[in-house]
């Protein structure tokens, strides 16, 4: 690009890039710098639409940054910075958190919960061993390591400790030299000024003159800005419409806008950009109310703004190197222009923050973090600036629409929570007042005409922004000062008064009026007011605590608060006072009715006053109260009035008088008493009533209560009403009132109300929670209020009151209450909800009954009131109370059934108990004459002079005879005893005995009846116990019967409960008969098979399984599986269209597993069931299905397991061999003879077929096996029989199941005639056996007899099916497959594509050849199969051949291994092995090492062959039904090997097999060994699989969960370089860490976008996989693209609980049992089942798009 027209800049520019002469003092640096920028910046950033980022960066470095750094440092920048870095400059860590990163806080040492550490610092700190919490950062915070004010102990991690890095000492003296500092002072101002100027630049078209060096060209951009109003789709839509661009381009723009905050979407001339701008605005306005924010910017403006940000991050980098740089930077930022009113640079930027786009804000905030926040002194200065502009900043934030993390106001927490800084800001900047005034300025839009808040129709988003201000208030108050200065006191008080103004606007806000007649139309908004109340709760508490820490302050605050309350208590003053009489007492009051007049639940002023009042009482300052509030002003009735109304409202809601006011009121009442609010609502209202009760005349107080509860009439006379509803209403109200009276007198667990500590209070809460039931730690935590530090104080006391019970494999640990705490139980505990109350009562009564004790639950003796509250007890023995008690008792005794309830009586009894307890305690403490509390006296006095008047005591006596109150009898007895005790206490200390003998006798008489009653009760209890025992016995007999008759069902239920069922069906396990236990060869034992009668779970009818009857089927699930793979990196074919599954690779990369839940149905019944489901599905299309009917999926009708097919049950064809015949055959049928026979047979077929079609059968290479007189039919001569005849229904099912295996196993469309169907049948049979063998081994179970019922019946059916399946396929086809399989063993066959010995799994070959072999007996005319004897030989020879081949495999593959240091032995086996090795050495032309010791080779073979032998034993057992030797029913290694050899007719010295068949085997061995693959392996060029194969298990997980979090924090997405939030997940199969739920790692598979997990699962687990979402601590199971579920991670905290989402954040430890459970879930192939089960119960996950996981 050409230089500007005037030569000047060009000349200057020419000097700059190579060697700047900026250092020359003659030049003005700023001017030079700007000239340089003016020249380069527009060039570098010219291609805004499609930038080459790397190129840009290169140019910036070369042209500007490098020269700048050279000038600044005076030497090579890289070397200089390297040096600087090593000097270790800061003790503060200052790492800035990104969203989702894990932060740690120490509960023992952090000053408040906002003090956090990054993972590095945490791992290197002492807090690692403390009680810590871990959480996910929302972004924007930073690590507090090194901040001494944040930590009570251990503020530094070992990394940041001074002297930590080896040579730190000498380096710490290494400082920047004066020259560099001088240069910085020159450079920084210009750089900063440029950044500030460009960021706040508002001209769209022009640049400042210093930067305008060339003629303006008409090049503009249309720039679109990010906002939070428009969704992704809106923006994409608008862009497509406005610019006519492709979807992809629009998406690209939108993503960039979301990330960076703005982006040029069109380049061009001014006019065209302007036009685009209007278009975008117009289109976006169409889809949402607001247009998008679009600007047209000149290209040069864009360029410079971009570069300004680049410079910002350059500075940011520089800041991290040196404290000197930071200080210079901060000084410059804080400099105000002399004499100007303008804010300094940093304030300018702060004030501009809300106008900046996202990307710019990020840079700015990072810069603040890395400079100001790293230097304490400057942090303070910054905080001062911040508070100076606080109001403006907050208002800007509130009207902005970006997230809080993107606002500069989010920095407040970093400053306000630093105690010294907070104090400084209060003292010097009056920050409390500033914040409260900000609130007062932003909230008025919610004020109504009475100047109270009203949040109807509020905007949630806006209010959330207001909360941010409230948070700030909390931060400032987090740490209470220990020392008060006068200034601090004054400023705090000013703030407090200002805060009271906010409370004044809340006092009485959102008044409601009872709705009569009509239901309200719309439920009013209530959430906002309650939410603000929640936000304020801890602030209110903190204000009270601050006040309480200084007596002077407390009294002054109290005066202010009192004044404020009084100002608000004007309501109703205009009304005339009325008079209310009862029992000779009168109350004058202004009329007010909660049920008719407006009432509000919000009374923060009154409640704050109550809070200050108890603190006055606690500190003793209450004695000076009169100095601050004169008694005339005090007016306690007015203070009580509003809280009382609120409690009455609650009572009336309970009495359903406010039904028509809708749900909103119900919710408010709920929160009023809920743990989240109650401390500053309900609890304080009770305290206020206690204040009233202590200061008012007790009778007047009670009259006031009666009147406000609108119950005056109810206690004056009996209303002759028949209105049931009204009576009910009265009763509830009376109950509610009595309850409140109990609380007022009895609830004293508040420091200040009595002399209790905070610990006592928490202990009492916990005791009462645990009285309901044992609870988990988290459940207790949730039910306790949290303080400002999110602590409940639970841990300090829990062990004193409860014992911990550990969890099992599922569930969680719980705390149980210690017995000695039970006596603390108070049935009328004021924090119980109604349900909790009755649950607790029930539990405790039951417990007492079990202990054979009476059921009385009297109140525990309460602690003494503190002096200020002492008078409260007087309400117990005042006249009005006696009247209330007597009235209720009388109604009960007189059986006026409508006017009393049992609950009411319970409360009366409770109040009586409280009165008696009080008197007893007083009597025990002081001499009788001093005790003025005369409850006993009042209660035994007649109520009036009327003739029929009775005392409370007399009423109690009568109460015992009321039948409806049977349950209260014990309590009544207890009270009567108390009466007696109190009476005796009075008598003992007083000589003047009261002549109340008659009463006393009555009681005594009662005592004897009481004893009688006790005896009677005991007798009854005993009788009841005997009766129970009898019933139990009957029940258990019935149960046994039931189990017998429903055995199958029962066993499956057991399994579902996780218990393993080790019983095998009897038929396969005859223990009495001792048949030969050999499965193969002439000595073969008989098949043991009883007739099988099964019950269909659908029609409940029984049927015997027979070849010729209708088919019965087992529900089954076929799935692909990689559970046995030895090589997870192998790429799996996703579709098997071209796959040839005949041979299984020895890696076992992917198999087809068939499992069953073991439930039997008639084939016909199942078909009906399935069709019905399909029909059902079609009719209700909208219902999302858990299962895929199209693919044959259904849920087992009985156990709801997910199934996708059925296995036909084919009966075992029992066979028995006449051993004599067999021996005879043995004489002629040697292995070589047998081989010849089959070779001739095969050749014969080939000849036969060659005539017709073009044949593919092998020409037999006639080598090694001599030809003879054998002919085509010879094979038949050793014995044949006719084939089994299956019923058509069995045949149909055989085909159906085989097709499913083919379809699922190969992921292809079903095709009943495909040639691969038999292959897949054999394959799934072999693979499933291998899986089961593997499972038994890893579980340490014996091979036989330990399978679960479902596994046993599934396997049995599968093997029998596999053997029968052959009959439904063309025999020619089966023969073809057989020949190919034999080709591996008999390399003489020239079959194309025969894999080498090392490329096949031998067990798969074995299963294939055994099952396909009978096809050789096929004749055109007759359907034949080998006779029992023929089969026995066929099996024997086929098995021996495969075994020989397998031994060779093992020998070859372990040849390259060096022997372990084992003592060599010279056993016979070792010698045989040695000679065998020598043979192999010969045939491999020396590739095979001759030096391998025989004993080593024998050891390898013996170990390596085990799994194969075990699989073969399982296979032949299920195929033939021959009982296995006893040893295989136990776990014993040595015994097992011998037993296997015996069962499978093998010599225990396996090498003898070679010797026995040497003539036949020698040529085979020769060929096997000569294979190029084998040779290459022996030469070490390729690696063959070793035997035994490794048994797969889930990856090792670390014990400590934070190690995983650590790993996750290191995780970088492999696809993208940006640092946005990632969701790392760990594959538990292979340990791969993936980037889930993110577009960057989505993959296109078959035209579908799949998330990282889903696409990984396709390869790693053939679609089924198990992941750990690390940041959320959850396991995810997924299957395919559409299904998945969450599962708790196997990590538990010390309370035995999991923590999904790390919500609680307690340290977590690996639970091995649970991890093992997950492992079994995988190895048993039950993941799919688990997903289906979870989806059925948890419908929530339906909406989740698993595909993109």
Closest contact distance (angstroms) between CB of 99 and Zn ion is 15
| Residue closer to Zn ion (CB basis): 1519 or 1666 | 1666
Strand partners, 105: 133
Q: Does 12 bind Zn ion (CB under 5 A)?
A: no
Q: Which is nearer to Zn ion, 35 or 1162 (CB)?
A: 1162
1350 sits near Zn ion (criterion: CB under 5 A)? no
1662 binds Zn ion (CB under 5 A): no
Q: Is 95 in the site for Zn ion (CB under 5 A)?
A: yes
Question: Quick one: which of 861, 895, 986, 892 has its CA closest to 935?
Answer: 986
Establish if 1096 lies at the interface with Zn ion (CB under 5 A). Answer: yes
CA atoms within 13 A of residue 982's CA, in its CB half-sphere: 27
Instruction: Say if residues 401 and 131 touch (Cβ distance below 8 Å).
Output: no
What are the start-end ranges of the E strands in 651-731?
none
Tokens of 575: 């009304």
Phi and psi at residue 139, to the nearest 5°:
95, 150
Closest distance of CB 1292 from Zn ion, Å: 16
Q: Which stretch binds Zn ion (CB under 5 A): 197-205, 636-644, 1487-1495, 1623-1631?
A: 1623-1631
**Count of positions on this chain that bind Zn ion (CB under 5 A):** 36
Per-residue contact track with Zn ion, 155 to 184, x per CB under 5 A? --x-xx------------------------
Distances (CA, A) of 155 to 149, 161, 1038, 1430: 8, 9, 68, 84
Of 99-118, binders to Zn ion (CB under 5 A) are 106, 108-109, 118
Decide if residue 503 touches Zn ion (CB under 5 A). no
Cβ closer to Zn ion: 131 or 590?
Answer: 131
Instruction: Tell me the closest approach of the beta carbon of residue 90 to Zn ion, in angstroms.
Output: 10
- Residue 975 or 1635 with smaller CB distance to Zn ion: 1635
First to last CA, the chain: 49
Q: Find how far residue 1182's CA is from the centre of its chain.
A: 30
d(CA 815, CA 834): 23
Cross-strand partners of 104: 117, 134
Q: Under a CB-based contact definition with an 8 Å cutoff, are residues 753 and 869 in contact? A: yes
| Residue 115 or 299 with smaller CB distance to Zn ion | 115
Of 1453 and 1638, the one with the shorter C-beta distance to Zn ion is 1638
- The answer to whether 362 and 322 are in contact (CB under 8 A) is no
Q: How far apart are CA 876 and CA 920, in angstroms?
A: 14
User: Which one of the spans 89-97, 896-904, 1670-1678, 1688-1696 is the region binding Zn ion (CB under 5 A)?
Assistant: 89-97
Residue bearing tokens 């949290």: 786
Is 1112 a binder of Zn ion (CB under 5 A)? no
Angle of helix 77-86 relative to helix 66-73, nearest 10 degrees? 60
Position 93 contacts Zn ion (CB under 5 A): yes
Spell out the residues 6+ positions from residue 248 whose beta carbon is closer than 8 angstroms to its own: none
The answer to whether 1606 contacts Zn ion (rule: CB under 5 A) is no
Instruction: Give the span between the Cα atoms of 1054 and 1043, in whole angstroms.
Output: 11
Among the residue ranges 73-81, 1071-1079, 1608-1616, 1678-1686, the one whose residues contact Zn ion (CB under 5 A): 1608-1616
Instruction: Decide whether 704 or 1198 has the Cβ nearer to Zn ion.
Output: 1198
User: What is the chain's Cα-based Rg?
Assistant: 44
Phi, psi of 1668 (to 5 degrees): -115, 120
Our CB check for Zn ion shows the closer of 344 and 1165 to be 1165
- Of 142-150, 209-217, 430-438, 1491-1499, the window that binds Zn ion (rule: CB under 5 A) is 142-150
Considering only 83, 98, 130, 1291, the residue that binds Zn ion (CB under 5 A) is 130
Q: By CB under 5 A, which span of 300-308, 469-477, 1034-1042, 1620-1628 interacts with Zn ion?
A: 1620-1628
Member of 564, 1079, 1660, 1666 binding Zn ion (CB under 5 A): 1660
For residue 1692, the surrounding DSSP H or E stretch is strand 1691-1692
CB of 77 to Zn ion, least distance (A): 27
Q: Which residues pair with 264 in a beta bridge?
A: 223
Question: Hey, is 870 helix, strand or coil?
Answer: helix
Q: Least CB distance from residue 296 to Zn ion, whole Å? A: 35
Minimum CB separation of residue 1287 from Zn ion in Å reads 16
Instruction: Report the C-alpha gap between 1504 and 505 in whole angstroms.
Output: 83
Identity of the residue, 1046 or 1538, whose beta carbon is nearer to Zn ion in the bound complex: 1046
DSSP symbol at 680: G
Options 134, 1487, 1613, 1625; binder of Zn ion; rule CB under 5 A: 1613
CB 551 within 8 A of CB 558: no
| Rounded Cα distance, 160 and 146, in Å | 7
All residues at 6 or more sequence positions from 1256 whose CB lies less than 8 Å from its CB, including other chains: 1376
> Minimum distance between the CB of residue 1135 and Zn ion, rounded to whole angstroms?
20
Pick 807 or 1680: Cβ nearer Zn ion: 1680
446-454, 1278-1286, 1550-1558, 1657-1665 -> range binding Zn ion (CB under 5 A): 1657-1665
Angstrom distance (rounded) from CA 485 to CA 1175: 82
Q: In sequence order, what are the residues at sequence separation of 6 or more whose Cβ sits closer than 8 angstroms to the Cβ of residue 1080?
A: 1432, 1435, 1436, 1439, 1516, 1544, 1545
Applying CB under 5 A, the span of 481-489, 1193-1201, 1518-1526, 1717-1725 interacting with Zn ion comes to 1193-1201
The interaxial angle of helices 724-746 and 879-893, nearest 10 deg, is 140
Q: How far is the CB of 149 from Zn ion (least distance, A)?
A: 15
- The window from 577-585, 949-957, 1622-1630, 1671-1679 that contacts Zn ion (CB under 5 A) reads 1622-1630
Q: Is 1627 in the site for Zn ion (CB under 5 A)?
A: yes
Confirm or reject binding of residue 306 to Zn ion (CB under 5 A): no
| Shortest distance, position 1748 Cβ to Zn ion, whole Å | 12
Asked whether position 1157 contacts Zn ion by CB under 5 A, the answer is: yes
At closest approach, how far in Å is the CB of 379 from Zn ion? 17
Q: 1534: cis peptide before it, omega within 30°?
A: no
Choosing from 305, 412, 1321, 1638, the residue that interacts with Zn ion (CB under 5 A) is 1638
Q: Which stretch binds Zn ion (CB under 5 A): 305-313, 320-328, 1054-1062, 1149-1157?
A: 1149-1157
Helix 698-708 / helix 636-654 crossing angle, nearest 10 deg? 40
**Binding status of residue 1635 toward Zn ion by CB under 5 A:** yes
1099 binds Zn ion (CB under 5 A): yes
Instruction: Please select the residue that binds Zn ion; options are 1632, 1645, 1720, 1748, rule is CB under 5 A.
Output: 1632
Stretch 556-615 residues interacting with Zn ion (CB under 5 A): none
| Cβ contact 1686:1674 at 8 Å | yes
Does position 1615 interact with Zn ion (CB under 5 A)? The reply is yes
Phi/psi for 1386 (5° steps) reads -115, 85
Helix (H) or strand (E) holding 16: none
Give me the least distance between CB of 1621 and Zn ion, in Å please: 11
Classified as helix, coil or strand, 1648 is strand
Interaction between residue 145 and Zn ion (CB under 5 A): yes
Q: Is 1520 exposed, middle or buried (0-12, 13-18, 19+ CB in 10 A)?
A: buried
Q: Is 1640 in the site for Zn ion (CB under 5 A)?
A: yes
Among 1159, 1376, 1669, 1704, the residue binding Zn ion under the rule CB under 5 A is 1159
Among 466, 908, 1199, 1578, binds Zn ion (CB under 5 A): 1199
Concatenated DSSP letters of 193-235: HHHHHHHT---SS---GGG--SPPP--EEEEEE--SSS-HHHH
Contact 1329, 1414 (CB under 8 A): no
Structure tokens of 791?
Answer: 């602590």
Which residues contact Zn ion by CB under 5 A? 93, 95, 106, 108-109, 118, 121, 127, 130, 143, 145, 157, 159-160, 1096, 1098-1099, 1157, 1159, 1162, 1165, 1196, 1198-1199, 1201, 1613, 1615, 1627, 1629-1630, 1632, 1635, 1638, 1640-1641, 1660
């Amino acid at each position: 690009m050409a230089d500007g027209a005037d030569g000047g800049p060009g000349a200057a520019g020419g000097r700059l890039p190579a060697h700047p002469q900026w250092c020359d003092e003659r030049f003005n640096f700023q001017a030079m710098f700007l000239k340089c920028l003016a020249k380069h910046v527009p060039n570098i950033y010219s291609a805004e639409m499609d930038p080459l980022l790397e190129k840009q960066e290169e140019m910036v470095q070369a042209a500007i940054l490098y020269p700048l750094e050279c000038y600044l440092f005076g030497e090579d920048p890289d070397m200089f910075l390297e040096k600087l870095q090593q000097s270790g400059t800061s003790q503060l860590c200052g790492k800035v958190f990104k969203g989702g990163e894990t932060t740690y806080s120490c509960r023992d040492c952090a000053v408040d919960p906002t003090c956090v550490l990054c993972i590095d610092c945490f791992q290197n700190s002492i807090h690692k061993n403390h009680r810590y919490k871990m959480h996910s950062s929302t972004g924007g915070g930073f690590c507090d390591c090194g901040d001494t004010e944040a930590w009570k102990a251990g503020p530094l991690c070992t990394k940041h400790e001074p002297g930590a890095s080896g040579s730190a000492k000498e380096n710490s003296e290494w400082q920047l030299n004066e020259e560099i500092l001088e240069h910085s002072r020159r450079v920084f101002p210009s750089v900063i000024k440029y950044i500030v100027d460009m960021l706040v630049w508002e001209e769209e078209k022009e640049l400042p003159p210093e930067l305008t060096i060339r003629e303006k060209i008409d090049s503009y951009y249309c720039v679109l800005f990010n906002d939070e109003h428009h969704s992704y789709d809106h923006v994409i839509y608008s862009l497509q419409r406005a610019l006519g661009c492709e979807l992809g381009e629009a998406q690209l723009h939108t993503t960039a806008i979301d990330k960076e905050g703005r982006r040029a979407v069109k380049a061009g001339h001014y006019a065209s950009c302007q036009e685009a701008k209007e278009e975008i605005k117009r289109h976006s306005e169409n889809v949402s109310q607001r247009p998008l924010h679009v600007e047209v910017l000149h290209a040069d403006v864009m360029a410079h703004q971009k570069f300004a940000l680049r410079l910002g991050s350059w500075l940011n980098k520089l800041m991290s190197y040196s404290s000197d740089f930071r200080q210079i930077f901060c000084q410059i930022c804080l400099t105000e222009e002399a004499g100007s009113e303008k804010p300094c640079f940093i304030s300018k930027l702060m004030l501009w923050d809300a106008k900046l786009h996202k990307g710019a804000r990020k840079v700015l905030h990072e810069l603040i973090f890395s400079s100001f926040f790293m230097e304490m002194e400057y942090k303070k200065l910054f905080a001062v600036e911040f508070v100076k502009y606080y109001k403006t900043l907050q208002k800007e934030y509130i009207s902005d629409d970006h997230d809080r993390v993107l606002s500069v106001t989010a920095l407040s927490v970093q400053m306000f929570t630093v105690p010294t800084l907070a104090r400084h800001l209060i003292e010097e900047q009056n920050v409390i007042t500033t914040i409260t005034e900000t609130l007062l300025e932003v909230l008025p839009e919610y004020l109504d005409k009475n100047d109270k808040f009203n949040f109807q129709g509020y905007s949630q988003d806006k209010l959330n922004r207001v909360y941010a201000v409230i948070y700030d208030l909390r931060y400032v108050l987090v740490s209470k000062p220990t020392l008060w200065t006068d200034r601090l006191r004054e400023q705090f008080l000013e703030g407090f008064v200002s805060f009271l103004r906010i409370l004044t606007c809340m006092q009485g806000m959102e008044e409601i009026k009872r709705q009569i007649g009509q239901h309200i139309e719309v439920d009013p908004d209530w959430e906002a007011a309650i939410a603000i109340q929640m936000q304020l709760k801890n602030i209110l508490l903190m204000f009270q605590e601050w006040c309480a820490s200084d007596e002077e302050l407390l009294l002054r605050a109290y005066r202010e608060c009192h004044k404020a309350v009084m100002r608000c208590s004007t309501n109703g003053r205009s009304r005339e006072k009325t008079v209310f009489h009862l029992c000779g007492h009168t109350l004058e009051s202004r009329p007010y009715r909660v049920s008719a007049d407006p009432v509000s639940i919000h009374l923060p002023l009154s409640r704050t006053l109550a809070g200050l009042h108890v603190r006055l009482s606690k500190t003793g300052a209450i004695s000076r109260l009169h100095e601050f509030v004169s008694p005339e002003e005090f007016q306690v009735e007015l203070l009580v009035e509003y809280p009382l109304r609120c409690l009455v409202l609650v009572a009336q809601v309970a009495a359903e008088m406010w039904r028509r006011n809708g749900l909103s009121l119900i919710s408010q009442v709920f929160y009023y008493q809920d743990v989240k609010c109650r401390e500053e609502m309900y609890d304080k209202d009770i305290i206020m009533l206690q204040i009233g009760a202590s200061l008012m005349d007790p009778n007047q107080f009670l009259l006031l209560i009666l009147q406000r509860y609108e119950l005056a009439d109810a206690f004056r006379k009996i209303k002759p009403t028949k209105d049931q509803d009204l009576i009910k209403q009265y009763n509830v109200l009376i109950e509610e009132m009595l309850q409140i009276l109990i609380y007022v007198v009895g609830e004293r667990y508040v420091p200040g109300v009595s002399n209790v500590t905070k610990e006592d209070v928490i202990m009492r809460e916990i005791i009462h929670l645990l009285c309901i039931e044992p609870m988990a730690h988290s459940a207790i935590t949730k039910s306790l209020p949290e303080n400002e530090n999110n602590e409940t104080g639970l841990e300090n006391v829990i062990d004193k009151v409860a014992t911990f019970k550990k969890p099992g494999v599922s569930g969680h640990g719980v705390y149980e209450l210690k017995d000695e705490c039970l006596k603390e139980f108070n049935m009328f505990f004021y924090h119980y909800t109604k349900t909790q109350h009755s649950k607790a009562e029930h539990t405790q009564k039951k417990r007492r009954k079990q202990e054979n004790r009476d059921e009385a639950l009297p109140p525990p003796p309460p602690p003494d009131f503190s002096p200020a509250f002492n008078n409260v007890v007087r309400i117990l023995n005042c006249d009005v109370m006696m009247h209330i008690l007597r009235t209720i008792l009388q109604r009960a005794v007189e059986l006026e059934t409508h006017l009393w309830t049992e609950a009411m009586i319970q409360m009366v009894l409770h109040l009586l108990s409280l009165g008696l307890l009080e008197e007893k305690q007083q009597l025990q403490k002081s001499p009788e004459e001093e005790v003025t509390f005369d409850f006993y006296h009042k209660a035994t006095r007649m109520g009036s002079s009327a003739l029929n008047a009775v005392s409370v005591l007399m009423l109690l006596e009568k109460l015992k005879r009321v039948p409806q109150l049977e349950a209260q009898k014990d309590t009544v007895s207890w009270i009567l005893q108390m009466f007696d005790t109190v009476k005796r206490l009075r008598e003992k200390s007083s000589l003047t005995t009261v002549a109340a003998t008659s009463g006393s006798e009555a009681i005594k008489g009662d005592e004897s009846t009481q004893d009688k009653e006790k005896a009677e009760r005991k007798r009854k209890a005993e009788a009841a116990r005997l009766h129970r025992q009898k019933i139990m016995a009957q029940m258990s007999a019935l149960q046994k019967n039931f189990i017998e008759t429903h055995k199958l069902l029962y066993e499956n239920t057991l399994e579902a409960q996780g218990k393993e069922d080790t019983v095998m069906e009897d038929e396969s396990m005859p223990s009495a008969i001792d048949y030969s236990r050999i499965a193969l060869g002439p000595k073969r034992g008989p098949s043991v098979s009883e007739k099988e009668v099964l019950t269909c779970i659908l029609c409940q009818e029984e049927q015997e399984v027979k070849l010729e009857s209708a088919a019965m089927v087992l529900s089954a699930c076929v799935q692909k599986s990689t559970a046995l793979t030895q090589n997870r990196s192998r790429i799996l074919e996703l579709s098997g269209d071209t796959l040839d599954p005949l041979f299984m690779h020895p890696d076992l990369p992917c198999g087809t597993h068939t499992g069953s839940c073991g439930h039997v149905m008639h084939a016909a019944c199942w078909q009906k069931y399935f069709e019905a489901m399909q029909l059902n599905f079609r009719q209700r299309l909208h219902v999302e299905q858990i299962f895929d009917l199209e693919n044959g999926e259904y849920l087992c009708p009985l156990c709801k397991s997910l199934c996708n097919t059925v296995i036909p049950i084919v009966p075992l064809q029992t066979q028995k061999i006449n051993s004599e015949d067999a021996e005879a055959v043995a004489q002629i049928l040697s292995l070589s003879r047998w081989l010849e026979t089959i070779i001739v047979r095969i050749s014969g077929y080939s000849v036969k077929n060659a005539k017709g079609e073009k044949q593919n059968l092998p020409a037999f290479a006639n080598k090694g096996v001599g030809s003879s007189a054998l002919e085509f039919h010879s094979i038949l001569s050793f014995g044949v029989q006719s084939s089994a005849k299956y019923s058509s229904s069995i045949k149909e099912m055989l085909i159906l199941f085989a097709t499913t295996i083919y379809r699922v196993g190969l992921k292809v469309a079903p095709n009943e005639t495909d040639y691969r169907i038999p292959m897949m049948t054999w394959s799934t049979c072999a693979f499933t056996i291998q899986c089961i063998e593997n499972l038994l081994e890893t579980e340490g179970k014996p091979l036989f007899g330990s399978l679960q019922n479902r596994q046993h019946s599934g396997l049995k059916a599968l093997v029998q099916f596999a053997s029968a399946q052959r009959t439904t396929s063309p025999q020619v086809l089966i023969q073809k497959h057989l020949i190919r399989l034999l080709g591996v063993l008999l390399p003489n066959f020239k079959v194309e594509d025969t894999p080498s010995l090392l490329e096949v799994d031998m067990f798969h070959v074995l299963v294939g050849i055994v099952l396909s072999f009978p096809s050789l007996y096929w004749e055109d005319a007759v359907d034949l199969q080998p006779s029992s004897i023929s089969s026995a030989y066929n099996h024997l020879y086929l098995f021996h051949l495969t075994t020989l081949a397998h031994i060779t495999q093992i020998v070859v593959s372990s040849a390259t291994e060096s022997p372990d240091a084992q003592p060599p032995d010279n056993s016979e086996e070792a010698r045989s092995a040695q000679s065998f090795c020598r043979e192999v050495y010969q045939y491999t032309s020396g590739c095979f090492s001759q030096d391998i010791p025989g004993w080593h080779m024998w050891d390898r073979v013996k170990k390596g062959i085990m799994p194969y032998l075990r699989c073969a034993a399982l296979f032949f057992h299920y195929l033939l039904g021959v009982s296995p030797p006893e040893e295989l029913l136990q776990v014993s290694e040595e015994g097992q090997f011998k037993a296997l050899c015996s069962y499978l007719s093998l010599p225990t010295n396996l090498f003898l097999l070679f010797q026995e068949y040497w003539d036949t085997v020698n040529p085979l061995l020769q060929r096997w060994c000569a294979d190029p693959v084998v040779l290459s392996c022996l030469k070490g060029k390729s690696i063959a699989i070793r035997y035994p194969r490794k048994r797969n298990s889930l990856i090792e997980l670390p014990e400590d969960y934070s190690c995983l979090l650590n790993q996750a924090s290191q995780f970088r997405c492999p696809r993208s370089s940006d640092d946005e939030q990632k969701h790392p997940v760990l594959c538990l199969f292979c340990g791969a860490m993936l980037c889930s739920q993110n577009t960057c790692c989505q993959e296109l598979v078959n035209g579908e976008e799949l998330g990282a997990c889903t696409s990984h699962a396709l390869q790693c687990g053939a679609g089924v996989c198990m992941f750990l979402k690390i940041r959320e601590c959850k396991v995810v199971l997924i299957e395919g693209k559409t299904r998945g579920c969450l599962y708790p991670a196997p990590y538990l905290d010390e309370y035995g609980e999991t923590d999904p989402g790390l919500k609680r954040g307690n340290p977590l430890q690996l639970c091995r049992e649970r991890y093992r459970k997950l492992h079994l879930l995988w190895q048993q192939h039950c993941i799919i089942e688990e997903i289906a089960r979870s989806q059925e119960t948890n419908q929530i996950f339906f909406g989740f798009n698993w595909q993109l996981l």
